[in-house]
Amino acid sequence: MFQDIAPHVLYNQWEVKAPQSGDMIIYSQGEKVFMRLDGERVVLPSYGECKELGEFRFLLKLDEKGIFMLFPKNEVEMVEKLTLLGYELMDKFNFRGKAPNEIAFAASVAFHLTSFYEKNKYCGACGSAYRHSEKERALICPKCNQHLYPRINPAMIVAITDGDRILLSKYAGGYYNRYALVAGYAEIGETIEETVHREVMEETGLKVKNIRYFTSQPWPFTQSLLIGFFAELDGSPEVTLDDGELSVAEWFKREDIPKDDSTLSMTKTMIEYFRTHPEEF
Ligand SMILES: [Zn+2]
pLDDT digits (tens, 9 = 90+) for 41-94: 999 999 999 999 999 999 999 999 999 999 999 999 999 999 999 999 999 999
Among candidate residues 45, 56, 57, the one with its CA nearest the CA of residue 14: 57
153-280 topology per CATH: Nucleoside Triphosphate Pyrophosphohydrolase (3.90.79)
User: How much is the pTM?
Assistant: 0.92
DSSP 150-199: ---EEEEEEEEEETTEEEEEEESSSS--S-B-EEEEPPTT--HHHHHHHH
The one-letter amino acid at 8: H
Do you find a cis peptide bond into 7, omega within 30 degrees of 0?
Answer: yes
Distance CA(60)–CA(78), nearest Å, equals 22
pLDDT digits (tens, 9 = 90+) for 240-264: 988 777 788 899 999 999 877 777 8
Distance 137 CA to ligand 1 centre (A): 17
Instruction: Give the number of other CB atoms < 10 A from CB of residue 162.
Output: 15
Distance 138 CA to ligand 1 centre (A): 14
Distance 111 CA to ligand 1 centre (A): 25
**Strand, helix or coil for residue 148:** strand
Distance 134 CA to ligand 1 centre (A): 17
* Residue ranges per structural domain of the chain: 10-119, 120-151, 153-280
Per-residue pLDDT at 174: 63
The pair phi, psi for residue 40, each rounded to 5°, is: -90, 0
